[in-house]
Amino acid sequence: MKQQVKTKGIVLREVKTGESDRILTILTPDSGMISAAAKGAQRLKSKLFAATGLFCYSEFLLFPSKNLYIVDEATPIEVFFDLRSSVEGMSLAVYLSELMGTLAPEGEEAVPQLRLLLNSLALICRGRNLYQIKVVCELRALSQAGYMPDLVACESCGSYEGDAFYFDVAGGGLLCAECAARGGWQPNLSAAQLAAMRHILYSSDEKAFGFTLSDEAMRRLSALTTAYVVRQLDHRFRSLDFLQTVLP
């Protein structure tokens, strides 16, 4: 007889089926991405209703079935209610969840991915700069999935410092302004933006969001990291298309 599985996780996607059921995509720390059926969870009086909605971080008691898990019990830990206080914040949350759902592993540990998403959603709720949250989550999520860019130094001459650099979204490498010019490229990173990217990638989870940039520099960096996401994954996210209409 199969044993029940107890785990924590955040609901990245919910699909309503039938009159009252939900099929959930859940990011868990132990098994990465899993699918689970929550029977009757659409009913307001259901004991599963509050813990199985979109973005609910809950403790689940699951029963393994043939193709997916069955949710026996679910207790909410954090529902991130304040995500719904703005269109911009909610749109970013949807995009980051789709991004994480694309990058997170299945059947493997996903503790860093879960921690990153939970921290990002909490900061959205607290009213932190949305561009900054987006940049950090994009870069660290890609790095965790094996797409970490090389920002140590210019890949041509080895220069570490400079007023401007060129970041290659196709190769993930870095060129100083002089080497970029020889190749016919224009710098797209200031020294401050490069320092921010290095901080995001090389600092601890607790310090990843601890940097500052001007509003304009942050917006430009956000556009660059999104270009890196799209190029590396060769995928266009539907949620990103909408996000860019409210958070250009």
CATH no. for residue 15? 2.40.50.140
Domain boundary pick from 79, 103, 137? 79
CA pair distance 150, 172, nearest whole angstrom: 6
Distance, in Å, from the CA atom of 121 to the CA atom of 112, rounded to the nearest integer, reads 14
Looking at the fold, whether 98 and 71 belong to one and the same domain comes out as: no
Whether 40 is covered by a domain: the verdict is yes
Q: Is the dihedral of CA 210, 216, 219, 224 positive or negative?
A: negative
Does 62 map to a domain?
yes
**101 and 126 together in one domain:** yes
Pair 193, 219 in one domain: yes
Q: How confident is the model over 231-239, as a mean pLDDT?
A: 92
Task: Please indicate, yes or no, whether residues 98 and 177 belong to a single structural domain of this protein.
Answer: yes
Does residue 37 lie in a domain region? yes
Domains in the chain, number: 2
Of 236 and 81, the one with more pLDDT: 81
Prediction pTM value: 0.94
Q: Are residues 108 and 75 in the same domain?
A: no
Hey, CA dihedral for 230, 235, 236, 239, is it positive or negative? negative
pLDDT at 1 over 70: no
Domain identity same for 13 and 121: no
Coil/strand/helix, residue 190: strand
Cβ within 8 Å of residue 44, ≥6 positions away: none
Identify whether 157 is part of a domain: no
Q: Which of 147, 129, 151 is nearest to 138 (CA)?
A: 147
Q: Which residue has the higher pLDDT, 65 or 164?
A: 164
Q: Which of 34, 58, 79 is the last residue of a domain?
A: 79
Q: What interhelical angle do 87-103 and 215-233 show, nearest 10?
A: 30
Rounded CA separation 33/101 (Å): 7
Q: Are residues 121 and 216 in the same domain?
A: yes
- What is the pLDDT, as a whole number, of residue 236? 82
Q: Tell me if 199 is assigned to some domain.
A: yes
Q: Does the pLDDT at position 230 exceed 90? A: yes
Whether 2 has a pLDDT exceeding 70, the answer reads no
Based on the fold, state whether residues 42 and 124 are members of the same structural domain: no
Q: Which of 58, 79, 100 is the last residue of a domain?
A: 79
DSSP element (H, E) containing 244: helix 238-246
pLDDT of amino acid 95: 98
pLDDT tier, 64 (very low <50, low <70, confident <90, very high otherwise): very high
DSSP string computed for 82-127: GGGG-HHHHHHHHHHHHHHHHHS-BSS--HHHHHHHHHHHHHHHTT
Beta bridge partners of 33: 27
Domain that holds residue 124: 86-149+169-246
Crossing angle of helices 215-233/130-144, nearest 10°? 30
Give the pLDDT band of residue 193 (cuts 50, 70, 90): very high
Does 123 score more than 90 pLDDT?
A: yes
Is 159 a member of any domain? no
Please give the average per-residue pLDDT across 66-84, as a whole number. Answer: 95
CA–chain centroid gap for 90, Å, is: 13
Q: How far is CA 159 from CA 153, 162, 168, 183, in A?
A: 5, 8, 16, 16
Q: What is the pLDDT of residue 61?
A: 97
Looking at the structure, tell me whether residues 120 and 190 fall in a common domain: yes
Asked if 102 and 217 sit in the same domain, the reply is: yes
Q: What is the pLDDT of residue 220?
A: 98
Which phi and psi angles does 45 have, rounded to 5°?
Answer: -85, 0
CATH of residue 135's domain is 1.20.1440
Q: Are 144 and 49 contained in the same domain?
A: no
Kindly state the helix (H) or strand (E) to which residue 74 belongs, with its residue range. strand 69-78
User: Is the domain of 194 the same as that of 109?
Assistant: yes
